[in-house]
Amino acid sequence: MTRAGWEPEETMQLKSPASLYTKYGEDAELADESAHSRAASGGKRAGRSRRRRRAPRPSPLSRLRAAAGSRLTPLIARVAPHARRLRPRYPHADRTGWRRWAPSWRQWLGAALTFTGLALGFLGVAYAATDIPENLNSYATQQDNVYYWSDGTPMARTGWVRRQAMPLKDIPEDVRDAVLAAENASFYSDPGISFSGLTRALWRTVGQGDTQGGSTITQQYVKNVYLNQDRSVGRKFTEAMLALKLDNGMSKDDILEGYLNTSWFGRGTYGIQRAAQAYYGKDVGELDAGEAAFLASLLKGASLYDPALSKANHARAVERWSWILDRMVDNGMLSKSERAKYKEFPEPLKQTPGYDTGKQSDYLVELAAQYAKKAAHISAKEFDLGGFQIYTTFDRKQETALTDAVAEARKKARKDDAAKAKTLHFGAASVAADGRILAMYGGPDHRTQGYNESNATTVPAGSAFLPFVYAAGLEHGVHKARDGAATDVTPQTLYDGDDGIPVMTPEGPYWDRGGKKVTTHNDGKRSYGRISLSRALALSVNTPFMQLGMDTGLDKVRDTAQAAGLLSSSFGPQVPGMSLGSATPSAIRMASGYATFAAAGTHVEPYSVARITRNGSEVRLAKPASRRAVRASVAASVQSALTDAFRTARPGADPDTEVAGKAGTVQNDTASWYVGTAHSVSTAVVAYRIDLSKSLEPLPLQGIAGTSDDSVPYRVWSGARGLG
């Protein structure tokens, strides 16, 4: 049936170019006008005029067919009906509801094929454009960290840069199998990437999920040696392209060898050989399957699976170790009978074997490394990669003098009483008025005693704490009435210096929880009568300062001591005994506190690193700012009293006005101190006894640290101060 503007059935064959023109509606309005004109002419000429009229302008499709000639006509005739079906026509007249607007399955298929073709084309272009970088990145070329003395000369080198790049043939099969079972069991058969794993990893990258896993060993190797460690979609895509290309151009064995020699295992180690040494103290060739399974677990994240870091880590490590061994059985890498041999978790060493430094310099390196990472915001993993140049504040001459002085004191103690000398410890540190730590003594040998005695908060400060009470009274004044105004005190203010006097509050005597009056005593239970505060400090009289602390306010005493450099963590309860040195500061902190008085009341937090570079580029380092701890006049009064204390105790010493200091004794004779300044350098020395094999409880010195007239800490202090 025909009509004006006719539309053929979908099964009708192609007609003339005009028919195609009208069918595909490329100028439907013109076709309708022609049909109307033919109808108006009427009669028998209507059909003839329709055949004889001038044909409209051919469509591009008809022009293409005419140009192609007769050879393409049959092909176009066959394809055209299918093309018409793919052409979306909305809405579908033969459907109802939402189906009127839904594309047909043919259209969906066409879209999918088009997208797939474009994606494959894009990936092909990306693959062809991807080149394997010629240079490996720093993850594969880890360097050592170099530490320098304050004069710029090298002090120590640390790191695992002398690692051995072990050939795959020298790595036991059990070790290789454990890594494959843990990370990529299909390594030898996959194309270098895991499409499902890559999808999961991309999803986690876009989201906030776990970034571990989802990568083949080839991908991880690419990340280790060619890329950085950021988690972006772009980096993941580049990783996949490089992995595909590397897998096609490099043998699987070479990739596995490179991966095992460049992966991070924690404890500053890169590569399976150094990991075996760090965790088991042996070469990789000596590892068994159980030890290999543990090392393989570290590849998922050493900070999560190193048992030495926490109990939670230990539990995770045991669980993953067992899982890896079971996976080895499932993959035919280990027989069930062999698996049965590994029932007990192979505990790794609790501490990595020492660096190639020195006995004493290890303490310096440890302190500087801790400070560098904190002040420069360097992660442990990044720091372990190496390449840092750490310029410390340690003075070589002062360090040598301090270490030699302690060594001489130890030698004499062993000669005087060998039994007590075995439990004798020294903590010592020298800090400049501007906060630089110039020297410290951490212990006899870091490799046998990692415990740093200069930074330990083990024993009370005793009477060496009195200058902080004195400074607090001068700075804040005293309160004789609970709500009364503060009354100024001066170095000449008199206090009762008699032995055994009760400690008073505005309401009367201070009572302890046992219902007893609290009293205080002087060394030797000596009484001094009414005595000025400056004289009391010079003679180290306890009773005036016990009362001064109560009158000033124990909270203000504590605040003043902290402002001068002591840490809040070293303080216990605010009770009268706090004024007599119940706090347990380290030697470094005591030296820093006295340095504040020498610096006219300005305090700078002690620091051990002055500058950091990495491969010649400056690393931003946050240096501590100075702050006002006490008024300059207060600091001058304290320093003057400490100068008198030094001269009173050492009348035969050189009357050098720049030398000031005092001794410190502790109740129950558990520690002996000497802290003082010389030429704007403050040095603190403490001697105490602890049997580390039993507990951290201090033992009585029983004369091993000398007497008040011949103090061992003073001998160490005077031996070190000459180079200050």
Query: For residues 442 and 21, which has the higher predicted lDDT (pLDDT)?
Result: 442
Q: Is 510 among the domain residues? A: yes
- Verify that 308 and 285 share a domain, yes or no: yes
**End-of-domain residue from the set 515, 548, 583:** 583
pLDDT in tens, 563-595: 999 999 999 999 999 999 999 999 999 999 999
Q: Is 528 among the domain residues? A: yes
Least confident of 170-179, 446-455, 607-616: 446-455
- The whole-number pLDDT of residue 445 equals 84
In single-letter form, the type of residue at position 285 comes to G
Average of per-residue pLDDT across 63-70 = 57
Domain CATH code at residue 526: 3.40.710.10
pLDDT at 621 over 90: yes
- Verify that 335 and 401 share a domain, yes or no: no
Least confident of 27-31, 427-431, 616-620: 27-31
Q: Is 695 among the domain residues? A: yes
- The whole-number pLDDT of residue 400 equals 93
- The whole-number pLDDT of residue 22 equals 42
- Verify that 218 and 275 share a domain, yes or no: yes
- Verify that 278 and 363 share a domain, yes or no: no
Average of per-residue pLDDT across 435-441 = 96
Average of per-residue pLDDT across 176-200 = 80
- Verify that 398 and 314 share a domain, yes or no: no
pLDDT at 126 over 70: no
- The whole-number pLDDT of residue 539 equals 94
Secondary structure letter of residue 486 according to DSSP: P
pLDDT at 70 over 60: no
The Cα 380–Cα 303 span in angstroms is 10
Question: At 456, is the secondary structure helix, strand, or coil?
Answer: coil
C-beta atoms surrounding 289 within 10 Å: 22
pLDDT at 206 over 70: no
pLDDT at 182 over 70: yes
The Cα 401–Cα 405 span in angstroms is 6
- The whole-number pLDDT of residue 218 equals 80
- The whole-number pLDDT of residue 114 equals 75
pLDDT at 10 over 70: no
Domain CATH code at residue 195: 1.10.3810.10
User: Are 238 and 227 a contacting pair, CB within 8 Å?
Assistant: yes
- The whole-number pLDDT of residue 358 equals 65
- Verify that 167 and 305 share a domain, yes or no: yes
The Cα 117–Cα 119 span in angstroms is 5
Q: Specify the number of domains making up the chain.
A: 3
User: Are 160 and 142 a contacting pair, CB within 8 Å?
Assistant: yes
**End-of-domain residue from the set 341, 374, 390:** 341
Q: Is 187 among the domain residues? A: yes
* 19-24 long-range Cβ contacts below 8 angstroms, 24+ apart: 20/59, 20/61, 20/62, 21/55, 21/56, 21/57, 21/58, 21/59, 21/62, 24/59, 24/61
- Verify that 282 and 368 share a domain, yes or no: no
- The whole-number pLDDT of residue 198 equals 55
User: Are 324 and 296 a contacting pair, CB within 8 Å?
Assistant: yes
Average of per-residue pLDDT across 206-219 = 60
Structure tokens at 543: 């009773």
- Verify that 483 and 570 share a domain, yes or no: yes
The Cα 534–Cα 492 span in angstroms is 7
pLDDT in tens, 320-338: 999 999 999 999 999 999 9
- Verify that 365 and 277 share a domain, yes or no: no
pLDDT in tens, 625-646: 999 999 999 999 999 999 999 9
- The whole-number pLDDT of residue 31 equals 45
- Verify that 561 and 676 share a domain, yes or no: no
Q: What percent of the chain has pLDDT over 90?
A: 49
- The whole-number pLDDT of residue 270 equals 80
pLDDT at 700 over 50: yes
Q: Is 347 among the domain residues? A: no
**End-of-domain residue from the set 315, 341, 367:** 341
Average per-residue pLDDT for the chain:
81
Question: What backbone torsions phi and psi does residue 678 show, to the nearest 5 degrees?
Answer: -145, 120
Q: How would residue 27 be classed by pLDDT, with cut points 50, 70 and 90?
A: very low
Q: How would residue 439 be classed by pLDDT, with cut points 50, 70 and 90?
A: very high
Q: Is 301 among the domain residues? A: yes
Q: Is 657 among the domain residues? A: no
Query: For residues 514 and 344, which has the higher predicted lDDT (pLDDT)?
Result: 344
Q: How would residue 53 be classed by pLDDT, with cut points 50, 70 and 90?
A: low
- Verify that 467 and 407 share a domain, yes or no: no
Least confident of 196-200, 279-283, 675-679: 196-200
Secondary structure letter of residue 433 according to DSSP: T
- The whole-number pLDDT of residue 16 equals 43
Q: Minimal CA–CA distance to 493: which of 561, 545, 559, 564?
A: 545
pLDDT at 19 over 90: no
Query: For residues 250 and 496, which has the higher predicted lDDT (pLDDT)?
Result: 496
Domain of residue 716, residue span: 143-157+356-461+585-596+604-627+662-723
Q: Is 387 among the domain residues? A: yes
Average of per-residue pLDDT across 273-297 = 92
- Verify that 259 and 361 share a domain, yes or no: no
